[in-house]
Amino acid sequence: MEIVDKEVYSDKFLAIIQRVTDLNIDNPYTFLFEKRSNGKLVVILPYRRNENDELEFLIRKESVLVWNPEMMYTESITGGVEEDDPHKTAVMELEEEGGYIVPFDDFVFLGRTRIAKHANTFVYMYTVDLTNYKRMSDYGDGSKSEKMSFSYWSSDITGVESTILYKILYVMFEKGIICPCEYFKKNSIPKRRNAINKINYTLV
């Protein structure tokens, strides 16, 4: 199959590309490519057990210019891959956005996925247990956006905008890193069952 890509827009961050193949000669497919990171990102979902032995996750509040610059959104620890080395980037992003200095040997690589059909971007997924690590008092890369943003511990990630985190969480369940029962707390199970029963009743 012949593939022809035409760049219709480009800046230092991303490019818009139209792709023509034997399957869509008369209707080019348009997609995004993240130039700054060469189409590669890392996403990290750190976790710990607090002083009450409760499971928590490290997530972020940050401004996302493309959504609404005046609001702070709940997001993941994320960064563009540098020097074509996702493992090294994961260590660096956890330090910059999370405030933890951790050797890569303590990270767990959970695989690679794509973010969406409209973007030719790979995401390298990681988790790391920070239970026995202490946080630095000062962190960030010095940029204005980093100074506005902050990371915090939470037992619930349902408010996170990044859907990749939910895939990471599932893979953590699948690999036995954490137990689903630790995340889906006992007091939430009856509510979930009631919701499912209502859906089943409606479908019947």
Q: How confident is the model at residue 70, as a pLDDT?
A: 80
What does the DSSP 8-state code read for residue 71?
A: S
pLDDT tens sequence for the chain (204 residues):
889 999 999 998 899 999 999 888 889 999 999 998 999 999 999 999 999 999 999 999 988 887 887 888 889 999 999 999 999 999 999 999 999 999 999 999 999 999 888 889 999 999 999 999 999 866 766 666 667 788 999 999 988 988 999 999 999 999 999 999 888 874 454 444 454 454 443 443
Q: How confident is the model at residue 196, as a pLDDT?
A: 42
Give the separation between CA 109 and CA 168, rounded to whole angstroms: 10
Q: How confident is the model at residue 198, as a pLDDT?
A: 43
Q: Please give the backbone phi and psi of residue 7, each rounded to the nearest 5 degrees, phi first.
A: -85, 115
Q: Which of 116, 134, 112, 110 is nearest to 48 (CA)?
A: 134
Q: How confident is the model at residue 125, as a pLDDT?
A: 98
* Strands 77-80 vs 40-49: parallel, antiparallel or unpaired: antiparallel
Q: How confident is the model at residue 24, as a pLDDT?
A: 87
State the Cα angle at 50 between 44 and 52, rounded to 5°: 150
Give the separation between CA 43 and CA 55, rounded to whole angstroms: 19
In the chain, the domains with their CATH numbers are 1-36 (no CATH), 37-185 (3.90.79.10)
Judge residue 150's burial from the number of C-beta atoms within 10 Å of its C-beta, 0-12 exposed, 13-18 middle, 19 or more buried: middle
Give the E-state strand segments of the chain in sequence order: 3-10, 14-21, 29-34, 40-49, 55-63, 72-75, 77-80, 107-116, 119-129, 150-154
Give the separation between CA 125 and CA 122, rounded to whole angstroms: 10
SS3 of the chain: helix, strand, coil, percent, to 5: 25, 35, 35
Judge residue 121's burial from the number of C-beta atoms within 10 Å of its C-beta, 0-12 exposed, 13-18 middle, 19 or more buried: buried
Judge residue 71's burial from the number of C-beta atoms within 10 Å of its C-beta, 0-12 exposed, 13-18 middle, 19 or more buried: exposed
